[in-house]
Each structure stands twice: as structure tokens, then as C-alpha cells.
Amino acid sequence: MNLATCFRILTVATVLLVVPLELPACTNILVSKGASADGSTMITYACDGRFHPHLRRSDAEDHEPGTELEIREWGGTLRGAIPEAEHTYAVVGLMNEHQLTISETTTTGREELQNPEGLIHYWDLMKLALKRARTAREAIEVMTSLVEDFGYRSTAESFSIADPNEVWLMEMIGKGPERKGAIWVARRIPDGFISAYANGIRIREFPMDDPENCLFAPDVVDFAVEMGFWKADDSRPFSFAEAYDTPTVQSRRYTASRVWSIFRRAAPSLEDNLDPAYHRGDPRAEPYPLWIKPDQKLSTEDVMELMRDHYEGTSWDMTQGLDAGPFATPNRWRPMTWEVRGEQHSWERPISTQQTGFSFVSQSRSWLPDAIGGVYWYGLDDTWTTCYVPPYAGITALPESFTVGSLGAFSWDSAWWVFNFVANIANLKFSHMAPEILALQQELEGEFFTMQPVIEKAALELMETNPDLALRFLTDYSVNHAENVVDRWKALGEHLLTKYNDGYVNEKETDPEHGYPDSWLEEVVRSRPDQFHLDQSQEAKTVLPY
């Protein structure tokens, strides 16, 4: 998802402050109840782009009949208005008070189907569904009805939609200029299975006689035939992806690589059936399945780890090779594609990237009151170097440092800048600093998971006698512990800057000089064999003081 993509979730989750990026960029995982270790549903979101997010929340509200809701661009320009709902629900980030959660990736599809006259962008759909729906099915109804009535303005989009019982993947694309409505398909993730997507349309064939598990626009096939995207006499099962997307070798590598890596880690037993040739762009390779059954049921911690990935241990491991530099940094600076001697090349696009603004792992649990059952595990900056904190669905306030700051001015008061500081410092000597970052990450997240049953037991007991006090208890816990994480991360950044100052490794009673790895030095000599060679004759030998 590009910056404009993330920016447009303005009133729900973020405030984004810079120009759009060139490529779309987001990664999502969907986990059904039967695939999770504790019976929760989970979805994830890495909102990638060059921007400074602000975590937001809004209260439930009642509205007088005839009230209108203004629909504005992210810069404030009024696009139009729609009737306001009689009652709207409270929202924290992208989870509402009923544990309904929504995430997305921009999948673009056929760009000629964008309708610039449509009123509703996909970020409006997310916000409005969270304010107006209690369940995933209701959210699908809200979103599809809105575009039918007021027009869909965005390019193709994939949505993850989860409530405490069901997880759905919905993909939507417009009908072109001056045509209201949208073409869409929504599929429920089967119990016991997981799905994933990353900026590419994933729904191919789908059942047209199973409304319990598959919903779709009535004209999904007819419109494709009308537009020449599908032949009326084609004997094959209709494929939504084939009709409404036009992938290239580069887009396949950019999108399918991330799906492949999630699936091969969640189900190593299937790796032989997940042909890497597909994400390398081979047109003969089989597409990856829409969902898989993980080898073991996934905990929330497992899902967080799936969101932390640079293809480690594979042929595309971004911590290896000359491009990783001497200290194995997995980050590659933009642009993604570049040219050498007239030929095009591309960096790998991992799940974990320095361009991530914020990410979340949602946890929705049917056996708990909504205020306690919904946890919006929220992280800032790169998923690999962040620490997730657990705001609950029922909290009534947010940690201040998660709500302030701007891209144009560094500030220790901004949690986003604190996490960015650590991530940027780590690039100087990544192989040395990464273990220290991961140690604190695991310590703090481990404490949250250890405390979770204790906190929720206390909140449940309070809920029976004093619901308001229970919400205050959850709010205090969420806010105070999130701010503690920021303080610990700030201290970590100061420690790393001190310990690794000027390329040294400053530790007591050790030699602070830790030079480059031999393998990298060999590459340096191979590239310029004469420049760095020292004359080894006796008269040339000297001692260099610095």
C-alpha cells in the first residue's frame, strides 16, 4: 500500500504527512479460529509507506435522523456526504468495540476500472464498516452497499475482515469512470486454515452456490465478459484474479514472494508443493493456494513472528550476500527497481521493511466480553525491530506518545520516532546490534503474554461488579505499559549509540575494534585488487596509530 493508501485511513488509525510512494506495499495474514492455538481469530496488517502514523480512537455516538456525514480527502477537501448511521460504534485503531477488525492491501488490478467520480475510497469503507458493523458479514454488507449507492473511487483492494467467530477475505475493484458500484468477491477462510496476501489479487475460482462461505457481486462474471476480460464461451471455471488482474514478472516477485514465505514457515511440510518458480515469475508455475492448513495451530506470538521475515534461510535471504553489506543488514534502500548497463533489476520485497509505518496483529475471542476479548497488538515502524503493545478493544484513552509527532521533526516524545531511531542505528552494525534488539523485544512481549491471563482474569472479575472500573483498569494497563515500552526502547537506542559509537564495539575489558568480516573483505579486494594492497617489504612496514 502506498503512502496515499495509508494516509486515507486518516480518521481511524493514522495521520500521514508526506507524498505518495511509487509502489503499493502491505502484507496481511488471516487466521481462522480452528487454526489458532487458543481459538481466537487473528488478522494482521503492515501498513507500509513513508509516513508518521498516529494511533486514533473514537467513541460510540448516536445521531439524529437526517444527519449527514461528510466524506473528505485526506487533505480536507470535501468530496460529498452520505447519510449518517443512527448509532456508530467505538473504534481503537482498526478494531471496534465488538472486536471487528479490518485490514487491507492495495492490489491495483486493472487500473482502467478506477472511477475518479466515485465518492467512496477503500479507506472510507474500512472506517465506515468499523463504525457501523458488528460482524464480518455485516461489514461486507456495509462496504458493498456503500459503493453500490455512492460509487467506488479506489483501484483494486483486498480486505481482511475478522470478528470473534469468522475471518473473511474480500477483494474489490471498480467498474471504470462514471459507473457506480464495484465488482467483488468475499470468501470465508475455512476453519482450521490460514490465508495471506500482499498487493496481488488472490481469489481465483470460487463457488457460486455456497452463500454461507462465499459472497460476490451478481455481475462479477457478466461484467468481465462485457469488458473483454473473460470469454463467454470459456469452458474453464471463472477466475476473479485472471479476469481482473494483469500480473508481471516484477509484480509477481513483489507480491507472491511474501505469501510464499508466510506459507512455507507456517507449514514446512508443504514447502515442496510451494514452487518458488511462481514468485520468480515463471508463467508455467502453479499459483499458491488461497489458504493452507498450518502444521501446528498458531499462537499470537507465532503470528507476530510470521510478520517478521526477510526470507532468512532461503535462497533469497536478505541478510546474505554483498548487497547485505559487511554487517548483514536486510534492508535495501529505495527505489526497488534499478538499471545497470541497460538491464532492469529489483531488490527483494520482504514482509519486514524499514518503510512500515505501523503494523498490528488482532486477537478476537468469542468467549470473552468484547472489551476484554479484543486485543489490538500494535507496533510502530519495521515489524522486525518493533515491540507489540496490547491496547484492548474497550480502552477509553491512548498512550500519548503513540498519538503525537510528525515526519518532518525528530522527537523523543513520539513513539514512532523512538522505534525509528533504534531501527536506523541498527543499520550501522546490524549483525552486532540485532541480537540486543531481539532480546529486549522478546523480554517485553514475553512479559505481556505472561501477564495477559492475569490481567484478563482481574478485568473479568471487575466486569461483573463494576464495568466502568474494568474499562479503567484495562485502559491504565494498556496505556502505562505501552509508555514503559517506549521508555525501554529509548534507553535501548541510547545504549546502542554508545556501545557501537564510531564503528567500535565498546565493552569493558575487550578490544573495541571489530573490523569487517573476512568474506566481505575478500569481495572488496576482488573488486579493487590494487588499491588496498600493502607493500610487504621490510622497509615498508609501519605501525598505524589510528
Query: CA-to-CA distance for 208 and 365, rounded, in angstroms?
Result: 30
Give pLDDT, residue 542: 58
Please give the share of the chain, as a percent, with pLDDT higher than 90: 88
Q: Which has the closest alpha carbon to 154: 250, 243, 52, 73? A: 73
DSSP class of residue 273 equals G
Predicted local distance difference test score (pLDDT) of residue 10? 37
- Respond yes or no on whether the N-terminal peptide bond of residue 335 is cis (omega within 30° of 0): yes
Please state the rounded mean pLDDT for residues 212-225: 98
Q: What is the reported pLDDT for 507?
A: 86
Q: Give dist(CA 300, CA 43) in Å, integer.
A: 10
pLDDT at 352: 98
Is it the case that residue 4 has pLDDT exceeding 70? no
Per-residue pLDDT reduced to its tens digit, 460-487: 999 999 999 999 999 999 999 999 999 9
Dist CA 513 CA 364 (whole Å) = 49
The DSSP output letter for 161 is E
Pinpoint the alpha helices (H) of 195-338.
Answer: 220-226, 240-244, 249-266, 276-279, 300-306
Which residues lie across from 91 on neighbouring strands? Answer: 58, 96
Cell output for 73: 480527502
Which of the residue ranges 230-244, 410-424, 452-466, 531-545 would you say has the lowest mean pLDDT?
Answer: 531-545
Nearest to 403 by CA among 13, 8, 3: 13
Residue at grid coordinates 509502489: 23
Which pLDDT value is given to residue 6?
Answer: 44
Q: Is pLDDT of 9 > 50?
A: no
* 23 pLDDT higher than 70: no
What are 2's three cell numbers? 502506498
* pLDDT greater than 70 at residue 500: yes
The answer, yes or no, to whether residue 216 has pLDDT greater than 50, is: yes
Question: At which residue does the C-alpha cell 559487511 appear?
Answer: 326
Closest C-alpha to 68, from 55, 84, 56, 54? 84
Q: Given pLDDT bands bounded at 50, 70 and 90, which one contains residue 172?
A: very high
What pLDDT is attached to residue 489?
98
The set of cell numbers assigned to 355 is 518503510
What would the mean pLDDT of 49-56 be, rounded to a whole number? 95
Q: What is the pLDDT at residue 353?
A: 97
- Alpha-carbon torsion (238, 243, 244, 245), positive or negative: positive
User: pLDDT class for 539, splitting at 50, 70, 90?
Assistant: low
Pairing of strands 343-346, 68-72: unpaired
**pLDDT given at position 541:** 59
- Cα-based torsion angle of the residue sequence 281, 285, 287, 289 in order, rounded to the nearest 10 degrees: -140
Average pLDDT, the chain: 93
Is residue 138 within 8 Å of residue 89, measured between CB atoms? no
pTM of the model: 0.93
Q: Measuring CA to CA, how many Å separate 516 from each of 124, 333, 524?
A: 50, 21, 10
**SS3 state of residue 212:** coil
Note the pLDDT of residue 7: 38
| Mean pLDDT of all residues in 320-326 | 94
Residues 6+ apart with CB under 8 A from 142: 125, 128, 129, 132, 133
- How many helices and strands, by DSSP H and E, does the chain display? 13, 20
Q: Which helix (H) or strand (E) holds 80?
A: strand 78-83
User: How confident is residue 73, by pLDDT bands cut at 50, 70 and 90?
Assistant: confident
Other Cβ atoms less than 10 A from the Cβ of 506: the count is 11
pLDDT tens by residue, 98-141 = 999 999 999 999 999 999 999 999 999 999 999 999 999 999 99
> Which amino acid is it at 61?
E
Distance, in Å, from the CA atom of 400 to the CA atom of 336, rounded to the nearest integer, reads 34
pLDDT at 535: 76
Residue count of the chain, please give it. 546
Cβ-Cβ contacts under 8 Å for 294 (sequence gap 6 or more) = 35, 194, 266, 267
The pLDDT tens digits for 154-170 are 999 999 999 999 999 99
CA dihedral (318, 320, 324, 327) positive or negative: positive
pLDDT tens, position by position, 336-367: 999 999 999 999 999 999 999 999 999 999 99
Per-residue pLDDT of 249-292, as tens digits, reads: 888 999 999 999 999 999 999 989 999 999 999 989 999 999 99
Give 441's strand partners.
Answer: none
Classify each residue of 20-49 as buried b or exposed e, where b means 16 or more C-beta atoms within 10 Å of its C-beta. bbebbbbbbbbbbbebbeeebbbbbbbbbb
Domain ranges of the chain: 3-346, 413-503
Q: How far apart are CA 105 and CA 256, in angstroms?
A: 13
Distances 306 to 160, 210, 266, 310, 356 between C-alpha atoms, Å: 16, 31, 8, 10, 15
pLDDT at 12: 40
Rounded CA-CA distance 95/163 in Å is: 9
DSSP H helical ranges for 59-121: none
Instruction: Specify the amino acid at residue 240.
Output: F
Contact in structure between 9 and 48 (CB atoms under 8 Å): no
